[in-house]
Amino acid sequence: KAGVTQTPRYLIKTRGQQVTLSCSPISGHRSVSWYQQTPGQGLQFLFEYFSETQRNKGNFPGRFSGRQFSNSRSEMNVSTLELGDSALYLCASSLSPGTSYGYTFGSGTRLTVV
């Protein structure tokens, strides 16, 4: 079965612009969560969605937002990009949140802000 699909794989944006990243979970998985990975901070939780509702949010500024559609696909948006937003953004899917099923990750979107 198809895994977690993230698009695009690579992205270069200018400071001040906004960006939208997409994540398609494994078929049947209804929970999608997002993580930011940087060399300095490691992997940090952004937010989790289940059935189109945000269930949990990490400690990130309001410039980071997301949504989930009825087909469980999720998008993450970052507005007014800063140089520090350069990171690998990873999406994970699971059958449901707070679950014993574990998480499956996509290959990530590498965002570079110049």
Partner 1 sequence: KQEVTQIPAALSVPEGENLVLNCSFTDSAIYNLQWFRQDPGKGLTSLLLIQSSQREQTSGRLNASLDKSSGRSTLYIAASQPGDSATYLCAVSSREKLTFGTGTRLTIIP
What is the closest distance, in whole angstroms, from the C-beta atom of residue 80 to partner 1 in the complex?
25
Choice between 25 and 106, CB closer to partner 1: 106
Choice between 16 and 98, CB closer to partner 1: 98
Q: What is the rounded distance in angstroms from the CA atom of residue 21 to the CA atom of residue 102?
A: 23
What is the closest distance, in whole angstroms, from the C-beta atom of residue 7 to partner 1 in the complex?
13
Q: Which residues bind partner 1 (CB under 8 A)?
A: 6, 33, 35, 42-43, 45, 48, 55-56, 58, 88, 90, 92, 97-100, 102-108, 110
Contact 111, 86 (CB under 8 A): yes
Q: What is the rounded distance in angstroms from the CA atom of residue 90 to the CA atom of residue 79?
A: 18
Choice between 79 and 97, CB closer to partner 1: 97
What is the closest distance, in whole angstroms, from the C-beta atom of residue 90 to partner 1 in the complex?
6
Choice between 23 and 78, CB closer to partner 1: 23
Q: What is the DSSP string of 69-88?
A: -TTS-EEEEE-S--GGG-EE
What is the closest distance, in whole angstroms, from the C-beta atom of residue 16 to partner 1 in the complex?
26
Residue 50 identity (one-letter amino acid)? F
Give how far the C-alpha of residue 68 lies from the chain's centroid of Cα atoms, to the nearest Å. Answer: 11
Q: For Cα atoms 52, 57, 62, give the angle at the middle one, nearest 5 degrees.
A: 100
